Amino acid sequence: VAAHFGGSRTPLVISWPKVIKPDKQPRSQFHHLCDIVPTIYEAVGIKAPSIVDGVAQDPVQGVSMVYTFNNASAAERKPVQYFEVMGSRGVYKDGWFAGTLGPRIPWAPNATRMSSWSPDTDVWELYNLTADFSQANDLAQQMPDKVAEMKAAFMVEAAQNKVLPVGAGLYTLYYHPEEAPKSPLTEWNLFEGQRRIAETNAPLFRSGFSSQSAIEVDVPANASGVLYAMGGTGGGFTVFMDGGYLHAEYAATGLYRYKAKSASPLPAGAAKIGVALIFEAPAPPPAVQAATLTLSVDGKVVGTA
């Protein structure tokens, strides 16, 4: 979430014994991830290349932190920094921070706000970070002119850094997943030992895309291991064995988790495992469609979710 520092403020430790004299004073100057590369360039004494392999490069964003290495109280050199993640956005400017959650509330397991969301009606919060490190005192209602100034600063940074239109990253993820890049295939044959398939070439295990899998396997006693998996930490679909039991799990955006498990361990020997993930009729976007997950072994249903 870009609307608050709770998800993005992280301590940074830099060690360079030949140059930086160690002390116990933390550096309070505001900096961001994009400042690391400029810091390295200045530290090693080189300029960022303007052309790489014949391709013109965008200017490096960020401000070097070298000036803080041996001067803990040096005047801050980074006046402004924008943040934006799928409509959640914020901006730092001269010790102040303003932000808005946008269409998604990270801790709310539903997408009801998405269908009626407009960035023009988002409510912004305002914090004086110099006096309020933990963003506990929202000053937006008391200082509407300051909020307007900060929102304008965000728009300047957003335009310069190709962020606009706000929330564009949600277009295929939530509103029109059918337009996202995908494989033209409708059937895949996968084999033991295959490591990875690019998502755009692989089966889709996301809301609205039904699938059926048939797995021919020689099950060892008390089997444990992954049969197949698609996705990552933010979401995906996996079928696996654990202690002889057959499992499947569907996860989305870190908020939705649906699990199916066989009622009893699978016996050792050859088996044909079936996995059906069937979504119901499409719902108006960006609603998450309901689905039924069914596990079967040799044609007999052993688990559902």
Q: Is residue 286 part of a domain?
A: yes
What CA–CA distance (Å, rounded) separates 157 from 148?
A: 14
User: CA separation (Å) from 177 to 153, 200, 210, 278, 289?
Assistant: 32, 12, 13, 16, 12
What CA–CA distance (Å, rounded) separates 273 from 300?
A: 9
Do 206 and 93 have their domain in common? no
Residue written as tokens 């064995």?
Answer: 241
What is the predicted pLDDT for the residue at 285? Answer: 54
Q: Is residue 31 part of a domain?
A: yes
Q: Is residue 206 part of a domain?
A: yes
Q: Is residue 18 part of a domain?
A: yes
What CA–CA distance (Å, rounded) separates 207 from 184?
A: 18
Higher model confidence: residue 213 or residue 174?
213
Predicted confidence (pLDDT) per residue in 275-293, tens digit: 998 877 665 555 556 778 8
Q: Is residue 71 part of a domain?
A: yes
pLDDT > 90 in the chain, percent:
54
Do 191 and 229 have their domain in common? yes
Do 159 and 111 have their domain in common? yes
Do 140 and 211 have their domain in common? no
Q: Is residue 141 part of a domain?
A: yes
Do 160 and 192 have their domain in common? no
Among residues 124, 146, 168, the one where a domain terminates is 168
Q: Is residue 173 part of a domain?
A: no
Query: Is there a contact between 91 and 83 (Cβ–Cβ < 8 Å)?
Result: yes
Do 152 and 10 have their domain in common? yes
What CA–CA distance (Å, rounded) separates 295 from 277?
A: 9
What is the predicted pLDDT for the residue at 155? Answer: 96
What CA–CA distance (Å, rounded) separates 84 from 88?
A: 6
- Which ranges of the chain would DSSP assign to H, the alpha helix? 36-44, 144-160, 170
What is the average per-residue pLDDT within 156-166?
92
Beta strands 269-279 and 291-297, pairing class: antiparallel
CATH of the domain at 112: 3.30.1120.10
Number of other CB atoms surrounding residue 222 within 10 Å? 13
Provide the residue type at 129 as one letter: L
Q: Is residue 48 part of a domain?
A: yes
Do 40 and 12 have their domain in common? yes
Do 160 and 210 have their domain in common? no
Bridge partner residues of 235 (DSSP): 232
pLDDT at 83 over 60: yes
Residue 5 pLDDT grade (very low, low, confident, very high; cuts 50, 70, 90): confident
24-33, 90-99, 151-160, 169-178: which has the minimum mean pLDDT? 169-178
Do 49 and 133 have their domain in common? yes
Average predicted confidence (pLDDT) for the chain: 87
3-state helix, strand, coil in the chain (%, to 5): 20, 30, 55
Task: Name the phi and psi angles at 234, rounded to 5.
Answer: -80, -15
Do 80 and 209 have their domain in common? no
What is the predicted pLDDT for the residue at 97? Answer: 96
pLDDT at 18 over 70: yes
Do 20 and 163 have their domain in common? yes
CATH of the domain at 238: 2.60.120
96-100, 247-251, 298-302: which has the minimum mean pLDDT? 247-251
What is the average per-residue pLDDT within 172-193?
79
Among residues 168, 193, 217, the one where a domain terminates is 168
Among residues 168, 201, 234, the one where a domain terminates is 168
Residue 109 pLDDT grade (very low, low, confident, very high; cuts 50, 70, 90): low
Predicted confidence (pLDDT) per residue in 72-82, tens digit: 999 999 999 99
Instruction: Tally the domains of the chain.
Output: 2
Higher model confidence: residue 226 or residue 177?
226
pLDDT at 162 over 70: yes
Do 11 and 42 have their domain in common? yes
234 is in which domain, residue-wise? 178-304
Q: Which of 271, 266, 264, 258 is nearest to 305 (CA)?
A: 258
